[in-house]
Amino acid sequence: MIKKLIMSVLILFGFSTVTNADVKIGNPMARTGPIPELVKPMSAAVDLAVEHVNDQGGLFSDGQKYIAVKVDSACDPVAAVDAVTKLVNIEVVTGIVGPVCSGATIAQAESVSIPAGVVTLSVSASSPAISEMESNTDLVFRTAASDAYQGIALAELAMSKGLKEIAVSYANDDYNAAIAGVFTKAFTSMGGKITGNEAHEPNKASYRSEVNTLGAGSNNLALFAYYGSSGITIMRNAMETGAFENFIGADGMLAQEVIDQLGAENLGNVTFTTSASDSSTDAFKSWKKHADAANVPASDPFVPNSYDAAFLMALAIEKAGSADRSKIAAALREVANGPGEKIFPGEWKKAKEIIASGGSIDYVGAAGPQDFDKNGDVAGLFSKNTVVDGKWKSVVIK
């Protein structure tokens, strides 16, 4: 009875004396909420990384199984806190791969994972605010570039398209508000004029009032929103009233559902940016070979980043030599930043052998070099995406 009580207390506070043959990581993805279409292939990429690890010998010398415990963070701060609380205290995971959305990532990190000393490696959360969290003591990393860079890239794209003035509408959440702020500052510094700049609340039935107000000042709209909560509705209202001729935006709007609901014929003047990968690199070619074999869309938004996060977490655990949470952050920097022998996606067996022999590795990911700076951020490329033949066509711009 006493032993059971001690075990319960240890688990409650995030510790465990369990010594089974599995190493668990938490995978809190937004499987429901405003962007499930975007998240589905991202989740499949995590599964593929886990498969590669287990099919090529598992973890450590005894081949322990690498397991991703899936929960739903719903792109919602409250849901993310609840989901990660379960992962940290009940499932006793070694690290977190996810969440997807910035608000969810910040909330769970500040409330759960950082206090518990558990590393979060987000697959796509891109708000600049993540870099600035005062509570982050090298416990929050991400494999996608900060919107501190994407907002500037989008402003440069707008100027290159000849859009000298523009209205801005953004959903009132951590991700969309942050990138809208970066875009606005960059656009004005380049000589552009913001004719209107308004936050909107998600999940309203209509945004006609907001559209009419913003449309009075410009024919162009910079829309920062999730397609499934407000983005599609705003665009539909704008098209119905003829308020805008040109639309630009970012990751949260890049989904096939936008085309399916609004019609490809109506999206000729729409351009969205997102994180991108350089398809000419050897690392991406290695990734694409594995992704194609598994029917995972290699170039979809944040899909390469999701694979990288799950694979990197496994490499860090292997490098640490155990599932000890306190060793993961340092090990993550070692395997990601080098120096060492280059490791590409799918090369688990090679990496494991090098680590076992005392060597060093440098993971070069599907999404590009995963070299973490002092804030746990990585640099990145971005693409512009337009509708061609009923689908999004991506071209790398930066």
Q: Is 315 within a domain?
A: yes
Does residue 308 share a domain with residue 258?
no
Is 375 a domain residue? no
Going by pLDDT thresholds of 50, 70 and 90, the confidence category of residue 27 is very high
Q: What is the pLDDT of residue 261?
A: 97
Q: What is the CATH number of the domain that holds 114?
A: 3.40.50.2300
Residue 169: band (very low, low, confident or very high) from pLDDT cuts 50, 70, 90: very high
12 and 70 together in one domain: yes
42 and 71, same domain (yes or no)? yes
222 and 122 assigned to the same domain: no
Would residue 119 count as lying in a domain?
A: yes
**Position 1 pLDDT exceeds 70:** no
> Which of 1-10, 181-190, 301-310 has the weakest average pLDDT?
1-10
pLDDT at 337 over 70: yes
Which contacts qualify for 85-90: CB closer than 8 Å, 24 or more apart? Answer: 85/111, 85/112, 87/26, 87/28, 88/14, 88/26, 88/112, 88/113, 88/116, 88/118, 89/11, 89/12, 89/13, 89/14, 89/116, 90/11
Residues 242, 265 within the same domain = yes
Residue 210 shares a structural domain with residue 264: yes
* pLDDT band at 20; cut points 50, 70, 90: low
**In this model, does residue 214 exceed pLDDT 70?**
yes
Same-domain pairing of 136 and 184:
no
Q: Are residues 91 and 188 in the same domain?
A: no
pLDDT band, residue 397 (cuts 50/70/90): confident
Task: Give the residue with greater pLDDT, 174 vs 137.
Answer: 174
Q: What is the pLDDT averaged over residues 44-53?
A: 98
Q: Do 238 and 129 sit in the same domain of this protein?
A: no
- Across the chain, mean pLDDT equals 93
pLDDT (mean) for 34-52: 97
pLDDT number for residue 362 = 98
Q: Are residues 116 and 219 in the same domain?
A: no
CA dist 4 and 6 (Å) reads 5
Residues 106 and 27 in one domain: yes
Residue 340 within any structural domain of the chain: yes
**Number of structural domains, the chain?**
2
**In this model, does residue 2 exceed pLDDT 70?**
no
Is 374 a domain residue? Answer: no
Are 318 and 198 within one domain? no
Q: Is the residue at 173 inside a domain?
A: yes
Tokens of 290: 């594995």
* Cβ count near 337 (within 10 Å): 15
* pLDDT at residue 134, as a whole number: 74
Q: Which domain holds residue 129?
A: 2-146+280-369
Tell whether 14 is covered by a domain: yes
- Does the residue 376 lie in any domain? no
Query: What is the rounded average pLDDT of the residues 16-24?
Result: 64
Confidence at residue 133, expressed as pLDDT on a 0 to 100 scale: 87
Percent over 70 (pLDDT), the chain: 95
Structure tokens at 22: 């599995």
